[in-house]
Amino acid sequence: MAEEVDLDDVWVLCRDVLENGAPLELNDEMRTLLSRTAQQVAIGQQDAQDALRSLSTAMTLLREIHQRIGEGSRRLSRARNRAYELRDKGDLEGACQQIRDVLAVEVVPLYRKHAEVQLEKLTGLIEVRATGRLNPDLPDRDQLAVLSQRIQQGNALELTDDLRALLRRVAPTAAVSEAETEEAIKSPEGAEALMGMILSRFQKGGRRFLRAMYQMTSLRDAGDLEGARQQMRDVLAVEVVPRYRQAAEEQLRGLDSPLPVS
């Protein structure tokens, strides 16, 4: 998106000028960039044009843009992370509230748009959990998770054609064979067990990979490249989920690559 490119460019500019002391060259190209970006962070066009008449007021404008980008980005990131934690614990209403809190104060249109999309997904998951009906616009694995929560709340699993299709799509991503999948989706009990297997493999695989990444990074930074490699080898020795295997293989290849010449 053009807006994101502008915000990224201005963020780099802010770092150079405001943090590293580089001069702000207020030429026509810079005025155009700052004017456009000011509007993207909800600063009025006239206010931006007035600020760009002198270097001192342009610096003030740059600081305000920097503040709105930084605060908005951090606010949205914190809210998303907390919303994901609550979602994974089954507290979808609490997850929604995290995003609503962002929308209550955020002025930057791009961040508001991201928050609105996130809120729409979460409210959609609430509907899936309440009704058991799948939504083709929502991520498959997230819907499996809320269906599992629905079962835990005492609701029976309705084994529809849509659910069978979803399980056929998701099962290979958790290294479940076609034969296993087809056998499981013959009955609600089998489908429920398959859902549990898929979700468990992703949860365990994700935690395993994150722990290994933390250890690998610490060992690499301490100069123990062989120990760092072993962390990824240990993941590959037990991991079955393709996405985590691929991630571990990529990390291992990176550790085996020659260091860049400084």
Q: What is the pLDDT of residues 78-112, one digit of tens each?
A: 999 999 999 999 999 999 999 999 999 999 999 99
Q: Are 94 and 86 in contact (CB under 8 A)?
A: yes
pLDDT at 260 over 70: no
Lowest mean pLDDT among 14-28, 132-146, 219-233: 14-28
pLDDT at 10 over 50: yes
CA-based nearest residue to 100, from 115, 84, 122, 82: 115
* % residues pLDDT > 70 (the chain): 96
Tokens of 194: 């398959």
Report which of residues 5 and 28 the model is more confident about: 28
Predicted TM-score of the model (pTM): 0.83
What is the CB neighbour count within 10 angstroms for residue 206?
13
Q: Give the orientation angle of helix 109-131 with respect to helix 92-105, to 10 degrees.
A: 160
